[in-house]
Chains A and B, each alone.
Chain A
Amino acid sequence: DTAVSQTPKYLVTQMGNDKSIKCEQNLGHDTMYWYKQDSKKFLKIMFSYNNKELIINETVPNRFSPKSPDKAHLNLHINSLELGDSAVYFCASSRMSSGGYNEQFFGPGTRLTVL
């Protein structure tokens, strides 16, 4: 059984388009995340949702909008795509923790290429 799934795995699109990436987890976790991994492999947290509420919103352009219809899903919508948005986007989930233990369970990643 897939724990954290993302669709699509690959996304190639033109500049200026709007696209969405979907994420689902079946682990019963209450917290979900989006990360961006750039071409230098640097991983940066973008957003975190706990029980459908936004709890972390790092400095990302407001063209990126997460949407959590329920605690098992966290989708990422990107408006007006730019060349610099090309990256691998990872969804992850974890239990809400107090004290630092929140092992991230990652999806397989979505490779976004903006032409």
Chain B
Amino acid sequence: AQKITQTQPGMFVQEKEAVTLDCTYDTSDPSYGLFWYKQPSSGEMIFLIYQGSYDQQNATEGRYSLNFQKARKSANLVISASQLGDSAMYFCAMSFTGNQFYFGTGTSLTVIP
């Protein structure tokens, strides 16, 4: 069975600081994708970043980077230089061949001015 875990229900970070949101996963499938989505209070789901299981380099997208440690089965999201607009729910997700898609339980991030 596939499983994805986010152990931090809530996180706080000072504006302009960096923050790491944890995500671990469990699968025996060698081919999978890891995603992070942001859900602000307005409710829409916003794609942030993707990492493929065979990708050698860690993915980066602007202020977002994914710290992919395959042996540890972790895919942490790092947000650098936090902004007030980063306050939101963040979901880690995992996909497989056949379009199965699973979300973690989410982490609520609050950026403090």
Complex Cα distance, B102 from A44, in Å, reads 7
The interface residues of chain B lying within 8 Å CB-to-CB of A97 are 33, 95, 97, 99
Produce 1/0 per residue, A17-44, CB < 8 A to B.
0000000000000010100000011111
B 25-39 contacts with A by CB, 8 A? 31-33, 35, 37, 39
Let me know if B99 and A56 touch, CB within 8 A: yes
Give how many A residues have a beta carbon under 8 Å from the other chain's beta carbons.
Answer: 30
Q: How large is the interface on B (under 10, 10 to 19, 20 to 34, 35 or more residues)?
A: 20 to 34
Q: B101, A104: Cβ atoms under 8 Å?
A: yes
Across the interface, name the chain B residue whose C-beta is closest to A106. Answer: B45
Residue of A nearest to B32 (CB): A100
Tell me whether B105 and A103 are in contact (CB under 8 A). no
- The segment out of B13-21, B46-54, B67-75 that lies at the interface is B46-54
Nearest-CB distance from B43 to chain A (Å)? 5
With A90-B45, A106-B44 as contacts: A31 and B103 at CB distance below 8 Å? no
A50-B99, A56-B100 as given contacts; A99 in contact with B52, CB under 8 Å: yes
A-B interface, 5 closest residue pairs, ranked by CB to CB distance from nearest: A100-B33, A106-B45, A43-B103, A100-B32, A99-B31
Known: A99-B54, A109-B45. 16 other contacts (CB 8 A): A41-B39, A42-B103, A42-B105, A43-B91, A43-B103, A45-B101, A97-B99, A98-B97, A99-B33, A99-B52, A100-B96, A104-B37, A104-B47, A104-B101, A106-B45, A108-B43
| Chain A residues packing against B (C-beta within 8 Å) | 31, 33, 40-45, 48, 50, 55-56, 88, 90, 92, 94, 96-106, 108-109, 111
Q: Name 11 interchain pairs, CB-CB below 8 A, sorted by A.
A: A43-B103, A56-B100, A92-B45, A94-B99, A97-B97, A100-B95, A102-B99, A103-B50, A104-B45, A104-B47, A108-B43
